[in-house]
Every structure is written in structure tokens, then in C-alpha cells.
Amino acid sequence: MSLVPEIATLSQFGTVLVVDDSHVQREHALALCLRLGAVAVEGVPDGHAALARVSQGPAPGLLIVDLEMPGMDGVQLLDALARCSVRVPIVVASQRGAALIDSVLQVGRANGLQVLAGLEKPLRAAELDAALQAHPQPLPAARHDAGAGDPTDAAMLQEALRRGDIEVAYQPKVDMRSGQVSGVEALARWRHPQNGQIAPDRFIALAEREGLIHALTASVADQAMARLATWKQSGFRLSLAINLSPCLLQDPGLLDELHSQLRRHGLVPADVILEITESSLVEASALGMLARLRLQGFGLSLDDYGTGFSSLQQLTRIPFTELKIDRIFVHDAHRSRNLRTVLESALGMAQRLGLSTVAEGIETVEDWQLLQELGCDLGQGYLLARPMGGGALTTWLLEHQTRLQEHGPTAAQAPHH
């Protein structure tokens, strides 16, 4: 096939592999990819052939997968790719409607696959181009991450805490009306000298399991509060969000320790928002500690809303000040009727309860604009800024202020990592 590309959207993806049992649909998709600038295109008729192709020779840069195929269908193929830890960007396609496509999209992403978009067939150039434009840089097919396989034990983490190897990255939370930065979330980061970057979900789970979560949280909180004090002295009016493990809610000394850290850095409880994941709110003693924290003036945020259980019950039992909506309901909500409905419902409920709302995982201007339209208060995500060190964020804050002065609130929508 030799066509002059109309647009170069696919040029950075290398070879595109189309998986579709229909010869007509497959050839249509191949021609479409060439029109969008694909360097090379290949087609296979089913999931088995796709698995064989992916496992042999250089991996393709993008997979376009039909869901309805004999033998191994698209859902089975995605499951097999996840089990084989394949990290190739994927677009799923089907004639079965948006609801089914959305469901497959969420399952694929939950299994760790890079599912970029779900489109209805027949594929159209404008829709495929728009979906890929929202993900302009394909993620690497593989990377060395100590969280993926290298052994990580309690002794290593204890030594890292002793040496001060656990650092803090900060991600800004931006007011969706004014564009002003209202706060930052503190995130623990561990770069091991030999094993490289260790995934937070690995070492945080390890810390909880091995009784090191108290030391880890104390280290993160101390570093973050020191940095917040510096920012406040420089004139930045920010709040600090710190993730609180459910294990710590059972510690009767938690409140006194937080007060001690605040005094050491010249801060007050109102400067800090404690983020508690939805699934952690099960013990009566945890509910009592949360009530005490709120009485003392700390902000309380229900984190990852929608991914746990008994959400409505928790909202009536605990004096939360903020509802943080998980990224799975935010990303691509402008394309999905189902996601938009859930998002709109959560925001409306929070507003009626008088809670501040934060949307995580904002990656596209379209998601930002939808959240603005629905009345979300604060936004957080890669569209605005990736997590970064304290010094880098100071520079970012100054640059962001300049952008707001020059361009107004719309400057917040422009990616500036």
C-alpha cells in the first residue's frame, strides 16, 4: 500500500498492527493508518496471530484491536497481552456500541495496559486522529523499574529511611476557574542506588506490611511541611495534601505527632489536608481518629472516590472537607457517556454536601473543559504538571504566575510540564 500521508499523527508510533478478522475492515484500517502518517502497517486476522506477531521480532508501536473475532476475541487478546506484560499502546474498536467499548477500556487499563482509546467501527480518520492527538507521546514499551521484579525488602527500605533516600515530589492542584495554584500533593519517591526507581505501590505496601509506614509517613510529612513553610515565606498561599495510610488511623499518638511537626515548621492544621483512601474506612477506631483530626482543624479528603466501597455511607459518617474523584472517572470522560454520567453525579453530590471537589488524572484539554463545565473546583494531572521536586516546583510556580498574568485563567489549560 502506498499512500501519501495527510497527517503525521502516527509517524511517531512506528509500525501499526491492525487485528481484525474482517478483511474489508482490516484493509480500511490499514489505509487509514497510512493516511495518518504510519511508517509501516501490518494486519492479522485474529488474536492468536497478533500474539505471535507481538512476541516475535521488534514489537509494533501501536495495536488497533477489533473486539469481535473468532478463536481469540479482542477481550481475550487484551488479557493475554496483560499477562505477558506487553506495554504496547492500544486502540480498541468495535461495532457493539460505546458502553461495551468503555467497559473493555476500563478493564484493559486496570490490568496495566496502555489502552489509549476506544472507537466505534468503521474507523474514521478524524476520530482516530483526535484520540491519538490526546496521547502525543507513546509510552516506552519497557523500562527498568525495581517495583516490577527486583527484590525489595524491609531492610532495604529501613536503610533508605535512615539514609534519607526517600524524597518527596509535589504535584500542584489548580483552581479550575481562576487558574491559580491552591495547593500541592506530597508524594513519596524512592530511587534506589542500584535498582533504580521503585514504584510507590510496592514500597508503601511493604512499609505497611513490615511496620515501617509510621517512619515513612513521618519522613514525607516532615520534608513536605518544611518545603511548605518555605513557600509560604515566599508569598505562595498553598495547602499541603498528605496521604495517610489506614494503618496510622489506629495510632493514638498520630494527632500529637502531627501537631509537633506543624509547630516545628510554624504551620497550623488548616494548612494540611489529609487524604484517606475510600477503602481504608472500615474500623470504628479509624472513624474516631478522623473525627478528632477534623475537630483540630485538619482538612480531610476522601481519596480515589468511586474505587472503594460504601462511599455514600462514609460521606454521611465522616466530616470530610474534600472529595477527590479517581482518575478512572476523569480520563476520557468527554468521550464516554457512561463516565460523564458518573462524573457529573459525583460532582453534583459533593456540591450539595458542601465539599470541595478535586479531579485527578486530567490529561487533555477536553477533560479540563468538561470538568469546568460540570463545576469541579480543583484539577490535578499531567495536563497541568507532573510530580516534581520542591526546587523544580518553585520554578514552576513562578512561571505559572507569569503565564496567568499574561494570558489569564486559560493559561492553566496549556500543558507546561
Q: What is the CATH number of the domain that holds 382?
A: 3.20.20.450
| Assigned domain for 174 exists | yes
Please say if the pLDDT value at position 375 is more than 80. Answer: yes
Reported as a pLDDT band with limits 50, 70 and 90, residue 283 is low
Which residue, chain included where needed, has cell 476506544?
118
Same domain assignment for residues 222 and 271: yes
Please say if the pLDDT value at position 389 is more than 60. Answer: yes
Of the candidates 87, 105, 133, which is a domain's last residue? 133
At residue 42, the 3 state secondary structure works out as strand
Number of domains in the chain: 2
Please say if the pLDDT value at position 150 is more than 70. Answer: no
Q: What does the pLDDT look like over 209-260, one tens digit per residue? A: 899 999 999 999 999 999 999 999 999 999 999 999 888 988 889 999 999 9
Same domain assignment for residues 405 and 341: yes
260-299 burial string, b = 16+ CB within 10 Å, else e?
ebbeebebebebbbbbbbbebbeeeebeebbeebbeeebb
Same domain assignment for residues 233 and 332: yes
Same domain assignment for residues 32 and 157: no
Please say if the pLDDT value at position 2 is more than 50. Answer: no
| Assigned domain for 84 exists | yes
Alpha carbon of 101 to those of 74, 131, 132, 371: distances in Å? 11, 14, 17, 22
Same domain assignment for residues 43 and 175: no
Chain centre to alpha carbon of residue 239: 20
| Assigned domain for 4 exists | no
Q: Which of 187, 197, 111, 210 is nearest to 148 (CA)?
A: 197
Tell me the three cell numbers of residue 242: 498528605
* Rounded Cα–Cα distance for residues 137 and 132 (Å): 9
Please say if the pLDDT value at position 145 is more than 50. Answer: no
* Rounded Cα–Cα distance for residues 214 and 344 (Å): 37
Please say if the pLDDT value at position 282 is more than 50. Answer: yes
Q: What is the rounded average pLDDT of the residues 269-278?
A: 91
Of the candidates 84, 109, 133, which is a domain's last residue? 133
Of the candidates 133, 158, 183, which is a domain's last residue? 133
Same domain assignment for residues 34 and 172: no
Reported as a pLDDT band with limits 50, 70 and 90, residue 98 is confident
Q: What is the CATH number of the domain that holds 26?
A: 3.40.50.2300
What's the chain's average pLDDT?
85
DSSP strand pairing (322-325 vs 356-359): parallel
| Assigned domain for 140 exists | no
| Assigned domain for 138 exists | no
| Assigned domain for 402 exists | yes
* Rounded Cα–Cα distance for residues 281 and 288 (Å): 11
Please say if the pLDDT value at position 354 is more than 50. Answer: yes
Host domain of residue 98:
9-133
Q: What does the pLDDT look like over 329-353, one tens digit per residue? A: 898 788 888 888 989 999 999 999 8
| Assigned domain for 273 exists | yes
Q: What is the rounded average pLDDT of the residues 18-28?
A: 93
Same domain assignment for residues 317 and 372: yes
At residue 230, the 3 state secondary structure works out as helix
For 339: left if phi > 0, alpha if psi spans -120 to 50, otherwise beta; the answer is alpha
